[in-house]
Every structure is written in C-alpha cells, then in structure tokens.
Amino acid sequence: MPKKRKSSKSIEDKIQQKLKKQFVKSDSHKALKARVAALEKELKKLRKMVDEGKRKASPATKRRTVKKPASKRAAAPRIKAETDSNLQMIKGIGAVIEKKLHDYGVRSYTQIAAWGSKDIEEFSQRLNFKGRIERERWVEQAKALVAG
C-alpha cells in the first residue's frame, strides 16, 4: 500500500510554526525589545523636558545637516537691488518656487526680465524644470510687470 503524502498546506503550516518559535527564541528579538525599551525611556525624558520648558536635544535626536557647496557663479544678475515683492504675480510661480528662487537670490521681476538663455537653462536645471520657464514665458511676464 502506498504511503499517504502530507498536504503541502500542512507542511507550510509546520514550517511557519517552527520559524515563529525560532524568532521568539532568537537573540535579535531580545535586542529589538531592549532597543524599544531604551527609546521609550528616551521619549519619556524628552516629554518631561518639554513639559518643563527646558527642551534640549539629545545627541541621538539632533539632526545632521549637510552644507551644500556655494555656486561658483552668481545666482542671478542684479539689475535692481530692491525687491518687486511678490514673484507669484508671474503665472507659473507658486509659493514653493518663489521660495526656491529667493534661496538662489532672485527677488525681483527685473532680475527675471534680464535672464538670458544661459540663465534660463541654469535655473531650469536648478529647479528641475525642463522647458517650463520658456513654456510659461516667465521672462516676458517679468518684463511686462517691470514696464507697469
């Protein structure tokens, strides 16, 4: 009489049970539990400091910042030192793009109006816009705003 084979499902169930038992017994599980306990303890300390008004970041919670190298070339031609206030008057420039332009030193319509093809290409790469500046005609719009 031939032997009966166990179904593949029952074999899978047994394998899963063995793996669960090994995981519970393993040292990595214990190390994870210890790490969670340490983090919970650190969190309690931080909450207490916040409640007291003396919040100081611990070395584990301090952010690491990376300084970006300064560009060798000037950010944009500076024709007019004053700011034309809201760059969002140019169609296609929203709050996020305006902030990025300010970070690169562009603060006025006259600066954008003076952009040449090299400047447009440079800012297209910086802002990760391929052809958007030309398509939305930022330079022409800036010239119109400067003219009044």
Q: What is the pLDDT of residues 26-50, one digit of tens each?
A: 566 677 778 888 888 888 888 888 8
DSSP strands (E only) in the chain: none
Cβ atoms of residues 113 and 143 within 8 Å: yes
52 confidence band (pLDDT: 50, 70, 90):
confident
Give the dihedral of Cα atoms 73, 108, 138, 129; nearest 10 deg: 40
Neighbours of 109 (CB within 10 A): 26
How wide is the angle at C-alpha 139 spanned by C-alphas 133 and 142, nearest 5°?
Answer: 125
Of residues 71 and 117, more confidently modeled: 117
